[in-house]
Structure 1
Amino acid sequence: MRERTARLRREVADWLADNLTGEFAGLRGLGGPGREHEAFDLRLAWERRMAAAGWTCVGWPREFGGRGLSLHEQVAFHEEYAASGAPARVNHLGEQLLGPTLIAFGTRAQQARFLPKIVAVEELWCQGYSEPGAGSDLAAVSTTAEREGDEWVVTGQKIWTSLAHVADWCFVVARTEKGSKRHHGLSYLLVPLCQDGVTIRPIQQLTGTSEFNEVFFDRARTAADLVVGEPGDGWRVAMATLGFERGVSTLAQQIGFRRELDGIVAEAKRTGTYDDPVLRADLTRARIGLRVLRAHALRTLDQEPGPEVAAGKLMWAGWHRGLGELAMRARGARSLVYDGELDEWQRLFLFTRADTIYGGSDEIERTIIAERVLGLPREERR
């Protein structure tokens, strides 16, 4: 296994070195949270080149268009990709979230319709979970879907929908049973965004960018057979999707974190703030914390998606938010100056304010761990 993984690492590294050239050479380091606007069209073209060479959906079974790589091989792929400085992926929501969900719960027809286009990066997806009155508390969603003949008719609003403005489809959690409450009566629907019943409004963030969106469904329609799992079984399917989100790609995320930390250390040395023993100690603690994140991710890789994996989100979100604060301290007084455009470290600081909120807020993650892992009494819900 080690030899096979080592061969894969060399293959990935060689391919990236050969292909991150020419028009794609300038993509190194671009994209990612808070920076999704950077060279988006060229990053999309890059990812389609990856698809043509068989480097998308590498962990999917071969029968669905993937390479069927083992967990260790997937780790190797993602780490080599991140270490090369290759740009942030644009198809993450399709490849890492919806695709595995359809493989686990989708019908043959759904798999045949959607998976090949995800592999080829021909259709992009977004996630319709959060609502104005139901952020991390997914069970409180009020968006409804009613069956009318051979269609579902969807009405409601989603918010903080990442990349909806460039997506073709949205996987939507909606309430399909009138009078149902909490996690009962929800369904997981696949909804096309290019229709009259859908309005998408980008939300301008502190960073000045707009990768989050409001999505309004005004009697939007989708086919009756585009419900994943059974109607009313949406909670179970949605929880599985969240489990896939905490998967092997988090190790690649940590490579990016390490690059940011190294850059902050270099900045501290450049500005002279590295001479402060308190800052040096905090930078050391951050490096130790990053090793802890990696150890936790490796330990939970072979677990079925479940509440234990939620601890990883809680860990990295707080760590990364703290890294943004370290960046400001490393820059010193210069970090407070705005000259019309945010620099790399100011953007990192501002965007990481959201890390402990999106993808499951710290409060919700702690509740999940307390109730479902530690077995503590459930919080009273009204």
Structure 2
Amino acid sequence: MNRKEGMKVASIVKSFAIAGVDGYLVDVETKTICGQPMISIVGLGDTAIKEAKERVESALNNEDFTFPQKKVVINLAPSDLKKSGSHFDLPIALGLLIETDQLNPKKMEAYGVLGELSLNAKLRTCTGVLPMVIAAKEHGMKNIIVPRENVKEASAVKGMNVYGFNSLKEVVDFLEEKKEYIELDKESMPTNEKKAYLLDFKDVQGQDAMIEYIVIAASGGHNLLMLGTPGCGKSMIAKRIPTILPSMTEEEALEVTKIYSVAGLLRGKQSLIKERPFRAPHHNASTNSLIGGGNNAIPGEISLAHNGVLFLDEIAEFSKNSLEALRQPMEDQVVTISRVKYTNTYPANFMLVAAMNPCPCGYYGKDRCRCSDYEVIKYRQKISGPILDRMDIQKNVNPVDFMELSKDFCGRTSKELRERVEFSKEAI
């Protein structure tokens, strides 16, 4: 944004991009040169970035700003790193306004900018805001401009002044000091404050021995395999495990929220995730959805379960390739996804909880079972030795006689079990 007499240099607006779950600084450089009116965006941007020129032109015309009748070159520096996302719309629009002397360049020196523009110049929420705001703080920036709906997410980073707006016009009026910024009402903002769990271990009857194993697994973060007949309570128990895990630290909450932000799963929540995640993919899930992948190498289920629980119900029904792909992440607690255009490393420190039947029909050892020995062996061999070796606790879950269930039963609550788990963690 520096200008020299006799020569007009490129305008620069500070923005950010994502590499894995970390953000990095991007200079959005804008320069008008002689030539046929058009916009050329360079710097290894994806399709969403290339399409920004139509959105930006429409937004500027909608707000009665003058669109330059020259060739416009926009460079996203560093130019050797691939970039994706629609959040460069607002930085590009502001760069064009600076380049055409419709906005004072000095106004932008203290701000980082993120935001997608609609054709009507409205600001839309974008993904990956949290790691990008963290990157802004690491680069010594104090002020960040984001869409109004991303304010809560961005505000999770302490020490940053977050400004949220609904339109391009509001941003320009604020920067030109035409209007005073009105802070978002904290009480009206959606929140993820810790709530009481709907599930509780007090509902589990007749599985006292299994619950003891669960407490041990939760205390040490051990992987767990439960074998039992259908209806014995394996899934019921597994879904309640997050309710007894220790509370996440602020650092752990930031790690989890960054992953969900990059994956685009924070829309409408806009807050730190304070409860440990619980992921339960279906057994027909592909290897890419489980480990991570796709064209942009996005996080998979094992990363979304970071610092929480990954529950594989009917684990023997998962494809062999998907299960074998878990071996390295379970050992290293990170997963590296390589694609032609992207190579990203995501954290994957999760507690694996798996459930399976003892045989194809599920009633091994009972009169109703008609499975042959060969079928039983073949079924159990779907889980390879290396995977079983990583399952620290393997326990048979016995069925509970329905006639022995009591309406007046009052088992140990999740709160009581959590206190035991936290006491064990502190004692280690």
Same fold (TM over 0.5): no
Relative contact order higher in (CA < 8 Å, ≥ 6 apart): 2
Bigger Rg over Cα: 2
- Determine which structure has the larger helix proportion and give its number: 1
TM-score, length basis structure 1: 0.23
TM-score, length basis structure 2: 0.21
